[in-house]
Amino acid sequence: MATSRFLVTGGAGYVGSHMVLALLDAGYEVTVYDSLRTGHRAAIPDGARFIEGDLADLPRLNSVLADGPWDCVFHFAALSLVGESMQHPLMYMSANGALGFGLIDACVKHGVKKFVFSSTAALFGSAGDGPIDEKTPIDPGSPYGESKLVVERALYWADRIHGLRSACLRYFNAAGADPAGRAGEDHRPETHLIPLVIDAALGRRDALTLFGQDYPTSDGSCIRDYIHVSDLARAHLAVLPLLDERSVTFNVGTGKGNSNLEVIRTVERVSGRPVPWKPGARRAGDPASLVASPALLMKETSWKPDYAELEKSVATALAWREAHPGGYRD
């Protein structure tokens, strides 16, 4: 029986590289297609084939897809900064939306039957305090969220008209690092809270600015659901069998929220170091609380988070950043 072949766009990025590890660990053949605009060549593990290319380069993209058959395309390549999208909305709609359309169209042309899309909880905007399930009304609070929503709609029509079955995984805040230390988080500039708090604890940056202390939460700071990146990668694998029959949409998280101040206290506890921080104003586009209900995903697949506790995400992230003070430049 032939080994399944998978194409991973954005496989040199944070979540994408952990997806590549999960696929290789499962014994699959993996090709990474990445422009390295924000990803890192060193993040692509041995065993994966690498093709440097941009989604905007349609001749190159079509050439790669023509070299099939592909059992599934995993699509991670995207711009992902909410704050930046509030400053440059059309750039995000183009890079995430329009280029996503081009990839979907190319998949249809070359007979790809399955497509797993890295979507986002930013589709929900300000959804209130309770866990967010798949029936929660969609109301993107940023162009970033909107740019993901239009790709979801394109996938809906690609299934209805062309039979391209897809899984849209709306995940919350990816966190942590590969427990075996093979991959981690290295954004430039870094904007995610946990690595920023860790760097402040390690003395690698000035005092952290905490954006907003007047949200309607228990301690006034934002609440987020931190899902370990390895759990996230496994969720992408877990949905594949469902695509034999139908397209699906799931929210992926732990079902538990932690405030920004709780993140700081957890890093202090795990690292044994104080975290210097100072208050800052709210950021545009940041809702007070985003917590997933992963109940539907857990009901319909065998998936459950193995690293649901925030301490585990912090511990693996801390270990990776201590071992790689220069990120992938090491």
The Cα-based distances of 297 to 95, 168, 232, 249 in angstroms read 29, 11, 12, 9
Question: Which of 78-82, 111-115, 272-276, 287-291 is predicted least confidently?
Answer: 287-291
248 confidence band (pLDDT: 50, 70, 90)? very high
Calculate the average pLDDT of the chain.
94
- Give the tens place of pLDDT for each residue, 285-330: 678 888 999 999 999 999 999 999 999 999 999 999 999 999 998 7
The yes-or-no verdict on residue 2 having pLDDT over 70 is: no
The yes-or-no verdict on residue 1 having pLDDT over 60 is: no
What is the reported pTM? 0.95
Average pLDDT estimate for 206-232: 93
Catalytic, 14? Answer: no
DSSP 61-110: HHHHHHS---SEEEE------HHHHHH-HHHHIIIIIIHHHHHHHHHHHT
Cα 6 vs. chain centroid, distance in angstroms?
18
- Beta-bridge partners for 223: 259, 289
Alpha-carbon gap, residue 224 to 123, rounded angstroms: 14
Average pLDDT estimate for 131-151: 94
Among candidate residues 144, 215, 226, 307, the one labeled active-site is 144
pLDDT at 129: 66
pLDDT at 207: 93
102 confidence band (pLDDT: 50, 70, 90)? very high
- Give the tens place of pLDDT for each residue, 257-272: 999 999 999 999 999 9
- Give the tens place of pLDDT for each residue, 11-26: 999 999 999 999 999 9
- Give the tens place of pLDDT for each residue, 33-61: 999 999 999 999 999 999 999 999 999 99
Is residue 42 classed exposed, middle or buried when 0-12, 13-18 and 19+ CB atoms within 10 A define those classes?
A: middle
Q: Which CATH number fits domain 5-175+226-252: 3.40.50.720, 3.50.40.10, 3.30.2270.10, 3.30.200.20?
A: 3.40.50.720
Q: Which CATH number fits domain 193-224+256-323: 3.40.50.720, 3.40.640.10, 3.60.21.10, 3.90.25.10?
A: 3.90.25.10
Please list the helix, strand and coil fractions of the chain in percent, rounded to the nearest 5, in that order: 40, 20, 40
End-to-end C-alpha distance for the chain, whole angstroms: 39
pLDDT at 163: 98
Average pLDDT estimate for 140-148: 94
Q: Is the peptide bond before 305 cis (omega within 30 degrees of 0)?
A: no
pLDDT at 303: 97
127 confidence band (pLDDT: 50, 70, 90)? low
| CA gyration radius, the chain | 19
Domain ranges of the chain: 5-175+226-252, 193-224+256-323
The yes-or-no verdict on residue 231 having pLDDT over 60 is: yes
pLDDT at 115: 98
pLDDT at 330: 72
Give the amino acid at 289.
S
